[in-house]
Chain A
């Protein structure tokens, strides 16, 4: 026990939780925390050399939340963002919602006006606990300084256990300033929230028997496999079973996409060959995917002749969207796969699935799309070229829109935790700050944000953070001067009646980058693109590469809303 202020206790908890960076903006209510951070300011401000807790100053709290999210996705640790009361807190909401929808562990620390003013509509008061209810796993509001250490530590515990999700801690300013004998507990306990028990072995055996008996099995892996860091287990299991692996969008990267058993992604913009192969499957083992509408198409038409087995860490997801699973298991993906491997090992000895394996191979071979740099710069070919220019360990983030879907279809992800995108909420502006957060987690790895011009303008002010804090990434702006995805929908489904999708001249992104002290370059050919990217990857400063592309370019194939997987628009 030591006598300390609430603010000091906050920093003490952060240190004990192994937090090395927080992303935030100071304000009236959270100033006491920043006073404690003052002691860290003399440290070197590069990502490589810092001790203790580094604070990265964002220019908008939404970006701070996305940075924490990117950090969490890249490192597997809890990301931390910090905001003041009122507008600071409300600005976090989009970032929290993004993390919530994609099950990313972040702890958001907001300050609140003094506890005796709460409810009086005081200056910069916002009921963030109420407002964040739908986008957090839980929210704490310590009203006594003695409760603060336990609650903040609990926030970390809840954020990272079972299904990772954001947790908010809203601390009134007087609580931050109050002093008392405070101690950070070693452990916290929630009797109604315990770690999941081991997977039920009877169910695992039944699942194993079913997949062994299958003639044409496919594994559908989702973001849950990433959260569980179960890549090795997934790969071992798929190879053992000789079952091809398809991923949901959030699962992209959990299975190397250059592996002979990889079918890439499925869903609304999934690859055509995957979407056609899936209905042939007799047993679909779904692991770590919530089977969202984007992944399955119209749920009533999803795999009608297939036995679906659903494994997920959150029991509320089983039966929520897809209700016809023949078998289900609530379990951590890693543990489930470990057990399945043991059960299946003996059964697969000497077993071949020649017909199915051959069919997969034939389908995959035919559909291979080569890089075509013969004509103008296009979104699709740029994305393909990027895979060649980036090492497998490079991290790629995306914004939301056509470019995001071109990445889903054409950017092969080989290593786990190298591809981050806002899949659930679909937040434009996520990619750039997330790239900065990811770079803080993995400073030795090149980080690239693939953006559309619409999305980039939502959080481009993070260029200031990137330059001032010395966090270099590369941004590739696929610039069609449009809100491309909306325009595509208007083309296909609204008879080409474009409405408010033309962004006009757009700022000159090169000058914009330079205005912030970053580097900017515009390219007009593939060789120029190659040279610009190669140079940017080595640059100590962020580079924005403006890649003009045609506004007529579409994302294909496309599954229209309300359609089943087989009813795709192919172009």
Chain B
């Protein structure tokens, strides 16, 4: 069913930035979170198509301001000079990242937060020597207490 949804978005010419899929609080029900860049009107229209799919229980459009949005990234740095290490460590601390792997020539950092924070860290990492980045894509849940880019969630059986 992931294929059917992704195919629908593809044939309606939507650009998918990321997809995150995983189980939910209900057995047999999974949550798919798509991050897309689109005009509101087109986006709203395609939600109706997704909702019409047999396996989809509910579709929820979410925007950053009324959702808690988080992403996880693993960033492998290959810093050149050993002298830069303390500086790198300082940044990792500031971003509240964890080092999950270390070798004489590389350093792998685990980082979570909203996607903009991860973007910022990756940009910074480039100046030190960036080897690889693996990002999960955003997941989001609506905020109970409320105040471009929008996520849409779909729950499927």
Contacts and interface: CB of A to CB of B under 8 A. Distances in A.
B52 A316 contact: yes
Given A133-B4, A133-B7, A192 B57 contact: yes
Contacts of A130: 3
B45 interface: yes
Interface in B59-98: none
A204 to B, nearest CB: 21
Nearest to A317: B48
A137 B54 contact: yes
Nearest to A167: B54
Given A158-B54, A191-B57, A134 B157 contact: no
**A interface: dominant SS:** loop
Give the interface centre of B11, B41, B48, B55 by most chain A CB atoms within 10 Å.
B48
Contacts of B49: 316
B19 interface: no
B36 interface: no
Contacts of B45: 316, 319-320
A158 B55 CA distance: 12
Contacts of B48: 315-316, 318-319
A190 B157 CA distance: 10
Contacts of B4: 133
A564 B56 CA distance: 38
B3 A192 contact: no
Given A133-B7, A191-B57, A323 B41 contact: yes
A193 interface: yes
A133 to B, nearest CB: 5
Interface string A180-211: 00000000001111000000000000000000
A134 B52 contact: no
A323 to B, nearest CB: 7
A192 B41 contact: no
Contacts of B53: 192
A314 B52 contact: yes
A318 B48 CA distance: 9
Contact of B157 (A133, A192, A319): A192
A192 B54 contact: yes
A413 to B, nearest CB: 30
Contacts of A316: 45, 48-49, 51-52
Nearest to A319: B45
Contacts of A192: 53-57, 157
Give the interface centre of B4, B55, B56 by most chain A CB atoms within 10 Å.
B4
A526 B55 CA distance: 56
A300 to B, nearest CB: 14
Contacts of A138: 54
Interface string B113-151: 000000000000000000000000000000000000000
Contacts of B54: 137-138, 158, 190, 192-193
Given A133-B3, A133-B4, A323-B41, A315 B157 contact: no
Interface bracket on A: 10 to 19
Interface residues of B, number: 16
A315 B3 contact: no
A363 B49 CA distance: 40
A162 B13 CA distance: 26
A316 B43 CA distance: 12
A324 B20 CA distance: 35
Interface in A113-138: 130, 133-134, 137-138
Contacts of A323: 41
Give the interface centre of B45, B53, B157 by most chain A CB atoms within 10 Å.
B45
A92 B41 CA distance: 35
B11 A191 contact: no
Contact of A134 (B7, B41, B51, B57): B7
Nearest to B47: A316
Contacts of A318: 48
Interface in A304-349: 314-316, 318-320, 323
Give the interface centre of A133, A158, A192, A323 by most chain B CB atoms within 10 Å.
A192
Nearest to A162: B52
Contacts of A315: 48, 51-52
A130 B6 CA distance: 12
Interface string A131-150: 00110011000000000000
A133 B7 CA distance: 8
A314 B7 CA distance: 19
Interface in A514-548: none
Interface string B6-19: 01000100000000
Nearest to A318: B48
Nearest to A321: B45
A138 B3 CA distance: 12
Contacts of B56: 192
A316 B44 CA distance: 10
A221 to B, nearest CB: 23
A138 B156 CA distance: 14
Contacts of B51: 315-316
A318 B44 CA distance: 11
Nearest to A137: B54
A444 B51 CA distance: 42
Contacts of A193: 54
Contacts of A158: 54
A130 B2 CA distance: 12
A316 B53 CA distance: 11
A190 B41 CA distance: 29
A316 B56 CA distance: 14
Contacts of B57: 191-192
A137 B54 CA distance: 8
Interface string A286-307: 0000000000000000000000
Interface string B23-49: 000000000000000000100010011
Nearest to A138: B54
Given A133-B4, A138-B54, A192-B55, 5 more contacts: A133-B3, A134-B7, A190-B54, A191-B157, A316-B51
Interface of A: 130, 133-134, 137-138, 158, 190-193, 314-316, 318-320, 323
Closest 9 A-B residue pairs measured CB to CB?
Answer: A316-B48, A316-B49, A192-B57, A133-B7, A193-B54, A138-B54, A315-B48, A316-B52, A320-B45
9 contacts: A130-B3, A133-B4, A133-B7, A137-B54, A191-B57, A191-B157, A192-B157, A193-B54, A315-B48
